[in-house]
A and B are shown apart, each in its own frame.
Chain A
Amino acid sequence: MRSVRYQTLAGQSGGYWILLAVLAVLVAMGYAAAHYMEVNGHYVTGMSNQIVWGTPHVFAVFLIVAASGALNTASISSVFGKSDYKSLARLSALLSVALLVGGLIVLVLDLGRPERLIVAMTYYNFKSIFAWNIFLYIGFLLVVAIYLWMMFEPRMNKFGKSAGTVAFIWRFVLTTGTGSIFGFLVARQAYDAAIMAPLFIIMSLSFGTAIFLLVLIAAFEWTGRPLDDDILRRLKNLLAIFVSAVLYMTLAYHLTNLYATEHHGVERFILLDGGVYTTMFWLFQVILGGVVPLVILFSPTLSRTRGALIAASILVVIGGLAQVYVIIIGAQAFPLVLFPGMEENSTFFDGAVNSYTPSAPEILLGIGGIALALLIAVVAMRVLPFLPERLGEQPSATSEPVAAEAAAG
């Protein structure tokens, strides 16, 4: 196999520093927002005793889920031996670490007592899926770090495949764990579905691939590195498959829920008369985040332009955020049913649809998390050679069936 040459980002360009500065400012604003919430208490946010997980959780879960999907490219190359992806494995691993760190920081800063993180690390309730997730997240960072080291260190290259395999398995367990956080909440009608974990896995592949594509294109174009359309075409096909799969799983999820009569209320709420959540679901998640990208990605003419590919990826990200918003906040907005067949009324909003409006600090914290992830990636690319000098020009079997690669994911 021809060896790939990697290069750090050359640091002379003003654009790099501007990008760095913008990201740093966003991170600082996110941190300031978290500090503001902590000093005043969470009443300054949109959350309440009814909607206990708000916008920061949407961003955090989105990032964590996307993190595992961003590793997909590396997995395809090392576990399934697709050499075309190999030169992108470093970037893929870097991005997954960066996204996970960004998501976790948001999660931690939104805690009621973020300074007690050390408590969370020293006291474990092993029955709690949340506690398991702490292990899964930290473990994932370690595993991917080792995997990266194997890829960077020529003497270690031979272990790359094994490390990649461990990371590959780990990320499935991790996403299953994240999905199970919701799956365990049996009292909440919207989550009472075994399909939660597989839904999260497929969401991770879709969001992660979209973000990977965006970062890949940006990194190559802004540094003037040649980027072969062939690799983009493959990634585009993967994305199309994942987006279709998310739509399919969403359909399956709602159909299973509709099958259970006691869940008709919450289904009606999300699908028909839930106001902002219904809009989020149909307009942002399904149409903008699913159907439109699919039209673009499957269109023979559109999908050949890079701009359309970028647009489709951005739409997938927006649709993904909307999807997580509906899953997390929409489900809490729908009232818990304590007495079926009764109208409930109380000072604690029993029986009422709970209102939630995202507040500025929450949004800033969430955006700060995304910015932090990108900042980590941008700085790392400057310090270490993550990016290949060029992509493409390798003889590759263009007729390779895409389905096989998707299955690899």
Chain B
Amino acid sequence: MQSTNAKSKMNCQRRKFIGRAGAAAAMLTLAPGVRLVDLALARPADEPASDKVRWGMLVDATKCAQGCTECVDACNEEFGLEGMGRPKTDAQYIRKIDLKDKTTGKRYSLPMLCQHCETAPCVDVCPTGASFRRVDGIVLVDKHICIGCRYCMMACPFKARSFIHENLTNQVPEAPRGKGTVESCTFCVHRVDRDREPACVEACTRAGHEALVFGDMNDPGSGLSQRLRELPNRQIRADLGLNSGVRYHGV
């Protein structure tokens, strides 16, 4: 845990850029012993999240290896997602989907995660505004005001969200979680705000697959933008017009 000073400073900053009246909620206790202070850590005080940026990701399914779960494992470790041995209720921020074309029999393997939709259905339906989209395109759940109604889970076309079904122990300080609320991939906002890549991307690169590219979609010079220009790619469920932040190549 960080010092109280740093925490309150970040809280201030966070309130500023999220622009919501979260002050009272920030006092709430998430779970016994865990005080959720900063779901979305601020960037350095002089640099709020910017709407010039749109964080995004390219999944290159041609490079994603069948049976490989490096990204999933890294995510589970980053967020302390420990399975309870109950697959139906265990949280998964990122999962591997194996596909088989019903006609040709061709197989694909790719990770599925929150697509950080621009017009996010989860944000639209959330009654309290707990589901929100940062100006830089990252979709998050403010766990102080999530009431656990699960409407966002009903609305998400990608099953990207998990509901916390039990009391949790051994939480990771950087990403506190709480029973009875909903959570999903945060694009590792706590890393991104410190100019680091999401854990899954790092792990995939480390393993030598390089199937995941992360970056700023709005910056034509970013590695992501270049790859998006070079490779044909698409959005999953493009018919819904979500302008998702995660694009897929090779499927």
Binding site for B on A (CB under 8 A): 38, 40-43, 47-50, 52-53, 111-114, 116-117, 119-120, 123-125, 127-131, 134, 181, 184-188, 332, 336, 338-339, 341-350
Contact = CB atoms under 8 A, between A and B. Distances in A.
A338 B236 contact: yes
Nearest to B168: A41
B133 to A, nearest CB: 12
Contact of A124 (B91, B108, B123, B129): B129
A123 B145 contact: yes
B230 interface: no
List 9 A-B pairs, minimum CB-CB distance, nearest first.
A112-B148, A112-B180, A187-B157, A41-B166, A48-B88, A43-B165, A130-B127, A125-B129, A52-B150
B247 interface: no
B202 to A, nearest CB: 21
A111 B149 contact: yes
Contacts of A348: 92, 95, 112, 159
Which of A47, A116, A124, A131 has the most chain B CB within a 10 Å cutoff? Answer: A116
Contact of A128 (B89, B126, B236): B126
B82 interface: no
A347 B95 contact: yes
Contacts of A186: 121, 157, 240
B99 interface: yes
B35 interface: no
Nearest to A130: B127
Interface in B78-105: 84, 86-92, 95-103
B127 A116 contact: no
A184 B125 contact: yes
Contacts of A53: 150, 154
B227 interface: no
A21 B158 CA distance: 47
B187 interface: no
Contacts of A41: 164-167, 179-180
A117 B147 contact: yes
Q: How large is the interface on B (under 10, 10 to 19, 20 to 34, 35 or more residues)?
A: 35 or more
Contacts of A50: 88, 159
Q: What does DSSP make chain A's interface, helix, strand, loop or mixed? A: loop
Nearest to B236: A338
Contact of A43 (B89, B92, B154): B89
Q: What does DSSP make chain B's interface, helix, strand, loop or mixed? A: loop
A119 B180 contact: no
Contact of A119 (B124, B145, B159): B145
B154 A52 contact: yes
Contacts of B146: 112-113, 116
Given A134-B127, A342-B100, A49 B180 contact: no
A119 B128 contact: yes
A348 B126 CA distance: 23
Nearest to A119: B145
A190 to B, nearest CB: 11
A378 to B, nearest CB: 30
Nearest to B165: A43
B237 interface: yes
B18 interface: no
Which of A112, A117, A124, A344 has the most chain B CB within a 10 Å cutoff? Answer: A112
A116 B99 CA distance: 41
B17 to A, nearest CB: 18
B153 interface: yes
A25 to B, nearest CB: 27
A236 B28 CA distance: 53
B102 A187 contact: no
A52 B125 CA distance: 15
Nearest to B125: A128
A127 B158 CA distance: 21
B155 interface: yes
B3 to A, nearest CB: 28
Which of A40, A123, A134 has the most chain B CB within a 10 Å cutoff? Answer: A123
A116 B237 contact: no
A231 to B, nearest CB: 41
B147 A119 contact: yes
